[in-house]
Amino acid sequence: MSNVFSRMFGSSKPAGTHELRKMREMLQQQYSPYQEAGMRQLPTMEEQYGQLVGDPGAMLSRFGQGFQADPGYQFQVDEATRAANAAAARGGMAGSPQHQTDIARTITGLADQQYQNYLKNALGLYGTGLSGMQNLFGTGFQATNQLAGGLGSSYLSEAELQRAQDAQRQQMLSNILGQAMGSQGGGAGGGAGGWVDPDEASSWMGTAAMAA
């Protein structure tokens, strides 16, 4: 008789459980790449922000090590030098210390401008890189939250399905037990309502079958 109950009220999962599990697998496949991409950014972001806060001067020096004047720099120097020479010649100052100072000042100003432009471009690219990493990390964080929400809802739904199935089985057991007890003249209170132990129900069913 216990085999009958095993077949009727075995440990089979509620309808819809397989679909919920497949959904969890799909969610993990969908969101895991974004999670992993976000997590890969974290060590580098921590390192870069630590250097920016701890020693920004060292960061600038590192950027400056790669400085090279652009191809137009020499043309600008030549043009500025010719202009300074012409001005000095017109004023009778050609070859004078002032003339040399003016040329040196002009060339230095052009070099400073080149360096500042280089740093501006380098820092702009660096900022673009950091922003990209932040975006990837933020996308990974959002994916983690969405995955957690989806998995949580799925597990909650599966638990609700299991509770509903358990309640249905209990009701069926209660009805069967009530019928078995009724066939013996209603002994032991009829058995309807309340929680019913499957082994107890099996015993009553066996007794009822023997009496019949």
Convert the pLDDT of each residue in 99-110 to its tens digit: 888 888 888 998
Q: What residues contact residue 115 under an 8 Å CB cut-off, 6+ apart? A: 64, 67
Q: Quick check: pTM over 0.75?
A: no
Per-domain residue ranges for the chain? Answer: 2-211
Q: What residues contact residue 21 under an 8 Å CB cut-off, 6+ apart? A: 154, 158
Q: How many CB atoms lie within 10 A of CB 175?
A: 14
- Retrieve residue 158's tokens: 């599966």
The pLDDT of residue 194 is 52
Convert the pLDDT of each residue in 13-59 to its tens digit: 666 778 888 888 888 888 899 999 999 999 999 999 998 889 988 88
- Retrieve residue 98's tokens: 């002032």
